[in-house]
Amino acid sequence: MAGLTPVADALAKVLEGAGPLPEEWVSIGDADGRVLSRALVSRRTQPPSDMSSMDGYAVRAADLPATLPVAGEAAAGRPFAGSMTGGTAIRIFTGAGIPDGADAVVIQEDVSRSGGMVTFRDRPAPGQFIRRKGLDFTEGAPALAAGMRLEPRRLALAAAMNHAAVPVHRRPRVAILSTGDELVEPGTEPGPGQIVSSNALALAAIVRREGGEATLLGIVPDRLDATLAAVRHSRAEGHDILVTSGGASVGEHDLMRQVIAEEGAEPSFWKIAMRPGKPLMMANLSGLRLLGLPGNPVASFVCATLFLGPLLRRLAGRNDILPIEESAALGIGLAANDHRQDYLRATLTDTNGKLVATPFPVQDSSMIRVLAEAEALIVRAPHASAAQAGEPCRIIRLAR
């Protein structure tokens, strides 16, 4: 249908002009979830010298088999002082430096010890049970790339490379505003015709999971003065993004258009060829990106997944910003699709190692319970032809 913007084009416009936020340094202890602004180069070599990977005896392979005197001991952090002379063995433990002169480790299970003497039955291959210096990483070598998000394993690596502080991008500061005369905050008794606002909490949680700082601005009624005041507050606070939810009806759109015009900017609205999802609104208020999401809870969530998520990751400096699509098999047959890209709420099952995605029978974009129960979105391209159960489909997994 003419006039509907494809999802990819709308995303490109949402991301237009958006780049990683400035760099700051944070202590490694506070860096969980932060995104590296430059590659981290190792400050040391690991292991720092050849080390034993087992408990046993350090030997010269060429001396064996033999019964040898134990001439000393090497433990982790307590190296054997001096050089090993030929015809001796050194008691050694995991993580201990290999004494000079030794070229193999024999595990303790394979020897018999009697007082100060130890008997080796076989000749080991040189290098046996030795971790070579630099096996893991070497000083000066880049080990973590710019744009990587620090998570437990990468934090461990950064710490092992002896970085006490790391360069990261500033977190996106995101304000969230709910618009609608019908909304009340959770925990409040709704009046006649009112409902409890739920979008803002989901959006704030998404923002935090993407490494942003979320500020809830509460609910404003569908009035120009109230909406304008909230936008001005957000600008004054220096937020990077203001996400609004609601206001997708025609009159309310005019309201948002007015608000943006009052702020001296050009509003851009797209009717996006997707379902769920109504018009998406984007405006750049010199520094503050205003992203207007539809009010329907499922549309709000799916649009946040497709547009807000990538924008947050781009600002946060991530090098992977698009939602990951995987393939699965359809659990049931589907009719041919119309001109809109569908995001069907679905469950996932593992049938003999094969991932099967089954859409819920009712896909109403107001149904928060179905959204909460869903494990994935099935992505159906515009004009996809009818598909039978078992045919392949693309999915986006929803975080558990």
Which residues lie closer than 8 Å to 370 by C-beta, 6 or more apart? 298, 345, 360, 362, 363, 364
Considering only residues 246 to 275 of the shown chain, the ones binding Mg ion according to CB under 5 A are 246
Q: How far apart are CA 210 and CA 217, in angstroms?
A: 19
Residue 296's binding partner out of Mg ion, ligand AMP, none, with CB under 5 to 8 Å set by partner kind: ligand AMP
Among 5, 52, 199, 337, binds ligand AMP (CB under 6 A): 199
Considering only residues 184 to 223 of the shown chain, the ones binding Mg ion according to CB under 5 A are none
Q: How far apart are CA 126 and CA 368, in angstroms?
A: 64
Number of residues that bind ligand AMP (CB under 6 A): 19
- CA 93 to chain CA centroid, Å, is 38
Name the residue nearer to Mg ion (CB basis): 206 or 220: 220
- How many beta carbons lie within 10 A of that of residue 350, not counting itself? 9
Beta strand 354-359 pairing with 341-351: antiparallel
Residue 296 touching ligand AMP (CB under 6 A): yes
Name the residue nearer to ligand AMP (CB basis): 133 or 271: 271
Residue 124 touching ligand AMP (CB under 6 A): no
Residue 388 beta carbon to Mg ion: minimum distance, rounded to whole angstroms: 39
Residue 322 touching ligand AMP (CB under 6 A): no
* Prior bond of 276 cis (ω within 30°): yes
Residue 203 touching ligand AMP (CB under 6 A): no
Encoded amino acid at 153, one letter: R
Is residue 317 within 8 A of residue 20, CB to CB? The reply is yes
- Determine which helix (DSSP H) or strand (DSSP E) holds 82, and give its type and residue range: none
Residue 147 touching Mg ion (CB under 5 A): no
Residue 212 beta carbon to ligand AMP: minimum distance, rounded to whole angstroms: 19
Residue 180 touching Mg ion (CB under 5 A): yes
Contacts to Mg ion by CB under 5 A: 180, 246, 295
User: Contact positions toward ligand AMP, by CB under 6 A?
Assistant: 178, 180, 182-183, 195, 197-200, 245-249, 252, 294-297
